[in-house]
Chains A and B, each alone.
Chain A
Amino acid sequence: MEKLLVAENVSKSFGEFKALNDVSIEVPKGSVFGLLGPNGAGKTTFIRIINQITMPDTGKVILDGEPLQPHHIQNIGYLPEERGLYKSMKVGEQALYLAQLKGLSKSEAKQRLKYWFDRLEIGDWWNKKIQELSKGMAQKIQFVVTVLHQPKLLIFDEPFSGFDPINANLIKDEILKLRDEGATVIFSTHRMESVEEMCDHIALINKSNKILDGRLIDIKRAYKNNTYEVGLVTENHESVAAELKERFELSPATFKTINDELQYKIKIDETATANDLVAYLTTRGQLTHFVEVIPSANDIFIETVKNN
């Protein structure tokens, strides 16, 4: 798959503190790429390097086949975590200013702003000052400003903070729409459920080092460990439960059901298959529930960071 952004062996220190240690990351074109990691891991530093706000000490960043250069800022749209707008400036004026800084002409910026303001139904805010708007409203403006110059690469740092669920959904849909229109999205967040929903690739940074990256599906495959969640209606719960405990590695499970049944997570040997387990269980009772346990992004995050 073609890569839009390639970071090779990027390191960055602030004085004594090493913020990034030899990090290499590849972001495929047209993907939604999740950049994950605990607080202070170095995500923001990495993002700032892509935005040429800070320069790496060593290593290089290649955008669309070219080493990063000043003119590339026009190809990048960045929504920082610490974000805001000039409070006493009017919405329209401010959006025009920021768009022009990104290299758009005034007339073009106006035209596109009109399109986006209509799309998000915020047209009548044009002459309002930011301080008259609510936080969520201001965030919408901020989003528009970020995507207005149709960048190839969009970088969102915690994009949903400050949005109510409705607007968060709206923005999520807009991001996915932009991806479908050909943009590549780097997405940094702590909110694992949105990673689950949106990202097809992830990289995990912890303590300045990249400790995991790849397609989310591949990673999940690598992290699953032949565990199945089962529900079994039996005539004698105690004896079956005792037998299961003897044969398998069991852990308790709870899921909603209408039956009175045994609920367990069952881990089987590497060599065994799901079919073997089903075959065994059907001899012991009525199988009502059988699901492979796939590790969530949350589980993977916690496990890798803990083990690191």
Chain B
Amino acid sequence: MNHLSLIIKREYLTKVRNKSFIIMTFLSPLIMVGIFTLVGYLSQLNNDKVRVISVLDESGLFAEQFESTDNLKYERVDGLALSEAKKITEENGNYGLLFIPKNNNIDELAKSITFYSEDSPSLGTLDDIEDAIQEKANTMKLTEAGIDAARIKELRVRVNTRLETFKGQETSKLGSGIKLVFGGAAGYLLFMFIIIYGNMIMRSVIEEKTSRIIEVIISSVKPIKLLLGKILGTSLAGVTQFLAWVILLGLFSVIASSIFGIDPGSMPQQQEALAQADAAGGMESIVQDVFVEISNLPIANLVVMFLLFFVGGYLLYASLYAAIGAAVDSETDTQQFMLPLLMPLILAVYVGFFTVIDNPHGTVSQVFSYIPFTSPVVMLMRIPFGVPLWQQIISVVILFATFIGTVWFASKIYRVGILMYGKKASYKELAKWLKY
């Protein structure tokens, strides 16, 4: 077996067999599902408590408007004086008292409604109450003005602007959202991958230095081979872990939802969003739209470029992580080098999530999708919005050219650094190493 495959095999096996690696592989998805389940469970628990609201409606106009639900009950206390009603509400331990005074002017009435309660009421409950009153008040005002409220409801129009490029490619706002999800997911995935496994490479380089085995290895293998083997072996372990996470996350979600009856994926906000979508135009049509939009995405382009940028971007950073590992004696010394490495990465994510969303083809987005240290993340986010192929190719070429440069740089640092013990490397020192 040749050296490179031996090294890759060893790196891969030691990573994969490492106890903390195995534990993290299982624990991370477990914790994630656990947290979502817990949050889902707690919010459900919250909802299970029945709140009783006393309603004192002196106007007699709105009492019918309040429909009790499973966890919110309205109790009419008609005919009591306000002070009495307050007392009773408090004594019964009810959530609060809604007081609607008598007033013939609807506008004035709307302003004089009061909610009495022990603590500040939840905004959600208040919204529900206000919505109910508002609807009725609106209808009443419309009727007053001689307009048929039911007719207006019928005539309401739902607007969904269709977007189309000059070349005739159809998109929509929904489509933009989906593109964003795809691009964002790809960019963020790469970001996470670089940070987690770049660090792992760095630590494994440091380990070889601290255990002093490096010189034994280097007397059998060229440093560049060891460097490459390390990066590739660790990356394979990373891909393995990522796949395991995807599978386990799915598995644990299914288990959690079947045990607790909670879908950890559906958080309250999402439910709300779905409910809104439902109201707006029916679930089915939305789902259909989503599928249409997804099929409209340049899938082949996306997949190929994802692979290229992922590999290129990851290797670029991985080689620098390895160089840092070689330059220091222990992990605590890495700080001064980590910041300049992380800055462009974080910048890329910021540019991606703020500028690209705002204007995927603006100058800032374009520039950052050429700079090799940010291009993998930024370009991956831009591609779903349609980037001309020549731009993509230029960006990939720049990325790989820079990658060759950083590998050269990293291997220089690595070659010298791995044999330097006890010397605290400064940037000046590193510059000197390049000339050795």
Is A9 on the interface with B (CB-CB < 8 A)?
no
In-complex Cβ contact of A15 among B7, B14, B432 (8 A): B432
Cβ-defined contact, B216 with A98, below 8 A: yes
| CA A216 to CA B100, docked complex, whole Å | 113
| CA A52 to CA B221, docked complex, whole Å | 10
Is B111 on the interface with A (CB-CB < 8 A)?
no
Cβ-defined contact, A83 with B221, below 8 A: no
Is B1 on the interface with A (CB-CB < 8 A)?
yes
Cβ-defined contact, A86 with B211, below 8 A: yes
Cβ-defined contact, A51 with B219, below 8 A: yes
Residue of B nearest to A155 (CB): B219
Cβ-defined contact, B14 with A76, below 8 A: no
Q: A80-B219, A97-B6, A101-B221 are in contact. Are A86 and B14 (CB under 8 A)?
A: yes
Task: Mark A120-161 against chain B: 1 for CB-CB distance below 8 A, else 0.
Answer: 000000000000000000000010010000000000000000
| CA A101 to CA B4, docked complex, whole Å | 9
In-complex Cβ contact of B213 among A15, A79, A86, A100 (8 A): A86
Taking CB atoms, residues of chain B closer than 8 Å to A98 are: 216-217, 220
In-complex Cβ contact of A53 among B1, B419, B421, B432 (8 A): B419
| CA A100 to CA B426, docked complex, whole Å | 36
Cβ-defined contact, B212 with A82, below 8 A: yes
Cβ-defined contact, A101 with B432, below 8 A: no
Cβ-defined contact, A76 with B219, below 8 A: yes
Taking CB atoms, residues of chain B closer than 8 Å to A87 are: 207, 211
Taking CB atoms, residues of chain A closer than 8 Å to B218 are: 51, 53
Is A302 on the interface with B (CB-CB < 8 A)?
no
A300 to B: closest C-beta gap in Å? 29
Is B153 on the interface with A (CB-CB < 8 A)?
no
| CA A48 to CA B6, docked complex, whole Å | 23
| CA A142 to CA B211, docked complex, whole Å | 13
A240 to B: closest C-beta gap in Å? 58
Cβ-defined contact, A78 with B6, below 8 A: no
In-complex Cβ contact of B215 among A53, A88, A101 (8 A): A53
| CA A145 to CA B10, docked complex, whole Å | 17
Is A84 on the interface with B (CB-CB < 8 A)?
yes
Cβ-defined contact, A101 with B213, below 8 A: no
Is A73 on the interface with B (CB-CB < 8 A)?
yes
Is A170 on the interface with B (CB-CB < 8 A)?
no
Cβ-defined contact, B211 with A84, below 8 A: yes
Residue of B nearest to A131 (CB): B211
| CA A48 to CA B219, docked complex, whole Å | 8
Cβ-defined contact, B211 with A82, below 8 A: no
Which residues 230-254 in A have Cβ within 8 Å of B in the complex?
none
Taking CB atoms, residues of chain B closer than 8 Å to A48 are: 419
A131 to B: closest C-beta gap in Å? 10
Q: A89-B14, A100-B1 are in contact. Are A78 and B219 (CB under 8 A)?
A: yes
Taking CB atoms, residues of chain A closer than 8 Å to B7 are: 101
Residue of B nearest to A98 (CB): B216
Is B173 on the interface with A (CB-CB < 8 A)?
no
B101 to A: closest C-beta gap in Å? 77
Cβ-defined contact, B213 with A85, below 8 A: yes
Is A255 on the interface with B (CB-CB < 8 A)?
no
Taking CB atoms, residues of chain B closer than 8 Å to A84 are: 211-213, 216
Q: A80-B219, A86-B14, A89-B14 are in contact. Are A101 and B6 (CB under 8 A)?
A: yes
Cβ-defined contact, A101 with B3, below 8 A: yes
In-complex Cβ contact of A83 among B1, B212, B419 (8 A): B212
Cβ-defined contact, B211 with A85, below 8 A: yes
A154 to B: closest C-beta gap in Å? 12
B431 to A: closest C-beta gap in Å? 10
Is A102 on the interface with B (CB-CB < 8 A)?
yes
Q: A15-B435, A73-B220, A101-B6 are in contact. Are A80 and B215 (CB under 8 A)?
A: yes
Taking CB atoms, residues of chain A closer than 8 Å to B220 are: 73, 98, 101-102
Is A280 on the interface with B (CB-CB < 8 A)?
no
Cβ-defined contact, A73 with B219, below 8 A: yes
Taking CB atoms, residues of chain B closer than 8 Å to A70 are: 222
Taking CB atoms, residues of chain A closer than 8 Å to B222 are: 70
Task: Mark B192-236 against chain A: 1 for CB-CB distance below 8 A, else 0.
Answer: 000000000000000110011101111111100000000000000
| CA A88 to CA B1, docked complex, whole Å | 23
| CA A101 to CA B217, docked complex, whole Å | 8
A40 to B: closest C-beta gap in Å? 13
Which residues 348-377 in B have Cβ within 8 Å of A in the complex?
none
Taking CB atoms, residues of chain A closer than 8 Å to B166 are: none
| CA A145 to CA B221, docked complex, whole Å | 15
Cβ-defined contact, A97 with B219, below 8 A: no
Task: Mark B278-291 against chain A: 1 for CB-CB distance below 8 A, else 0.
Answer: 00000000000000
Which residues 200-226 in A have Cβ within 8 Å of B in the complex?
none
Residue of B nearest to A106 (CB): B1
Is B436 on the interface with A (CB-CB < 8 A)?
yes
Taking CB atoms, residues of chain B closer than 8 Å to A53 are: 215, 218-219, 419
Q: Which residues of A does B touch, CB under 8 Å?
A: 14-15, 48, 51-53, 70, 73, 76, 78-80, 82-89, 97-98, 100-102, 106, 142, 145
Q: Which residues of B does A touch, CB under 8 Å?
A: 1, 3, 6-7, 10, 14, 18, 207-208, 211-213, 215-222, 419, 421, 432, 435-436
Q: List 9 A-B contacts (CB under 8 A).
A: A52-B219, A53-B219, A53-B419, A79-B216, A84-B211, A86-B207, A101-B217, A101-B221, A102-B220
For the complex of A and B, the 5 pairs showing the least CB-CB separation, nearest first, are A84-B212, A80-B215, A101-B220, A84-B211, A51-B219
* Given A14-B436, A84-B213, 13 additional A-B pairs, CB 8 A: A51-B219, A52-B219, A53-B215, A53-B218, A79-B216, A80-B212, A80-B215, A83-B216, A84-B212, A87-B211, A88-B18, A101-B7, A101-B220
